[in-house]
Structure 1
Amino acid sequence: MVTLKEMEWNRINELLLEIYSMDNEHEIADRFLKIIRGLIPYSQGFILMSSEENEINAENSSFINISEKMKNLYIDHFYKVDYINYIINDSSTLVFKDTEILENSLRVKSELYLGFLKPQNIEYGCGIIFIKEGNVLGVLNLFRSADLGDFSDRDIRILHLVKDHMTNIIHSLRKSSKSLGGRLSINFDELESYKLSKREKEIIQMMIQGLSNQDISDKYMISISTVKKHVYNIFTKIGINSRMQLLKIFGEQR
């Protein structure tokens, strides 16, 4: 087994601590891609999130160094012919490496390679297929050009260390949101003992509807720092430390 350095373990822990504190799928995907690059260098990459109907949810997905044209081509066509489909199962999350899915002589003749990878000077790929309870939640794909070389055993080891954490975070967010059953209004009488201000109640309403801090900032025309201060006050008054706990409270009130 590959042995990681202490510095690498620290970076992995920092990555997990940060994404566990987040509660928006797009923000998690975007931040994960940026932080993991410090551990696993790559030239291009993306995380595609899927919907409950197993359709690509482009709004919650994130892309690094991939043009809008190529992004749309992948979503509309190449995702369906990607050779990762050969290994997707309905049991559990898995880590993959392109050069281990297909022999290179076959891989370089594939539609994905000729139409999507080669035009972007991509030679190698690896990633994670996030699967929970028989559902594909999303796919992480990291790419490298030929000059960077193929992904190493160390790189794959790091993906194995984070795969279940990412899967559980995505699954928990969706489960918490689903438990609200589309509830759009809250009876705040049950929370009067927490002495929430009018604005704090409004922000709770926005948070349970899935709006990010940036969305709330835009809606109320207040700064991000002000939103964060309100969120901190809400969490302190209620005695929680994450949006997932907030969603659980309202889910249990139904």
Structure 2
Amino acid sequence: MLKNSDWIILNSITYKIHSISDEKQMRLSIMKRLENLIDFDSASFYLASPFNEKELTEPVGIEYSLEDMNDYVSHFKNMDYSEGLMFTGKNIAYRESDLAEDEVRKNTDYYKAVYDVQGWHYSLHLNICYQEQFLGVMSFFRKKGKEDFRYEDIFVLDMLKDHLALRLYRERESKIHQKFSVSQCADQYHLSPKETMVLGYLIHDASAEEIAQELGISISTLRKHCNHLYQKMGISQRIQLYEMVDSNSVE
């Protein structure tokens, strides 16, 4: 069970969820604070796209590089055998080891491609939902050689899940009705300089041929930039850019 000092930390995390105005900073701050309650080696926190809840976007992490977090979305999310739990519409904290036995997990392509490469073995996840809408997922990982996460760790996340769900729901509602400049999008979604340039052309209705010519790249290379751009922003169609980006913003 939690000690009195643990409850004090838990209360401070709850306060941070509602008081830190910058949502991305809030996510990073509470993960760092959770290091005092949950033993983990790496952590990540993704949001669901406001336009497609099955698209994960805007990751922040601890001892988990942005490149690797984006690679998970690009190459490995569809291999993740726990992916289906994200879209049940339920707030739920769980250990991955509760879904499958160790020997089964270790022989999956997903484990070999992600866990083996990172040196992880155990993980703990919190799927965050509000009114059956999937809003995001926070995950914690332990290196090989350590014991599994405890049920007390699940309890800690259970104490936070409703607070996180309400905060992320309010953030999503504000994003749906808010437009960003190109530079704000670049910062918000960690776009590369080339992706930022492509976004600027796309939002001003330039054709693929015009963009490729201006940037001195092939159409196939442009498609790759567009795919990465859409993936990071959690969208699948160009028309969704007009809902997110202010074409009249001065860069």
Q: Is this a same-fold pair by TM over 0.5?
A: yes
Show CA shifts across 1:105-149 (max 9, x none): 211111221001111110100010111233211111100012331
116, 119, 133: which one pairs with 1:118? 116
Amino acid paired to 2:41: S
Pairing of 1:143-222 with structure 2 (within 5 A): 143-178=141-176, 181-182=177-178
Distance 1:86 1:56, change over 3 A: closer
- Contact 2:122–2:143 under 8 Å retained in 1: yes
* Unaligned segments of structure 1, at least 5 residues: 185-210, 213-254
Provide the secondary structure at the position in 1 that maps to 2:69.
Answer: helix
Q: Tell me which residue corresponds to 2:86.
A: 88
Deviation at 1:101, TM superposition (A): 0.9
The structure with the largest alpha-carbon Rg is 1
- Contact 1:70–1:116 under 8 Å retained in 2: no
Q: Tell me which residue corresponds to 2:29.
A: 31
In the aligned structure 2, how far is the partner of 1:176 from the partner of 1:121?
A: 38
Say whether 1:57 aligns with 2:71: no
Q: Tell me which residue corresponds to 2:42.
A: 44
Q: Tell me which residue corresponds to 2:77.
A: 79
Q: How many pairs are equivalent? A: 181
Q: Tell me which residue corresponds to 2:106.
A: 108
Deviation at 1:94, TM superposition (A): 0.8
In the aligned structure 2, how far is the partner of 1:151 from the partner of 1:38?
A: 14
| TM, length-normalised to structure 2 | 0.66
- Contact 2:89–2:134 under 8 Å retained in 1: no
CA RMSD of aligned residues (A): 2.2
Deviation at 1:158, TM superposition (A): 0.7
Provide the secondary structure at the position in 2 that maps to 1:87.
Answer: helix
Provide the secondary structure at the position in 2 that maps to 1:147.
Answer: coil
In the aligned structure 1, how far is the partner of 2:67 from the partner of 2:19?
A: 33
Show CA shifts across 1:7-46 (max 9, x none): 1111000111122102332112111211111110100110
Distance 1:141 1:147, change over 3 A: same
Distance 1:177 1:94, change over 3 A: same
Show CA shifts across 1:77-116 (max 9, x none): 2122212224334332111101001121211111221001
Amino acid paired to 2:63: N
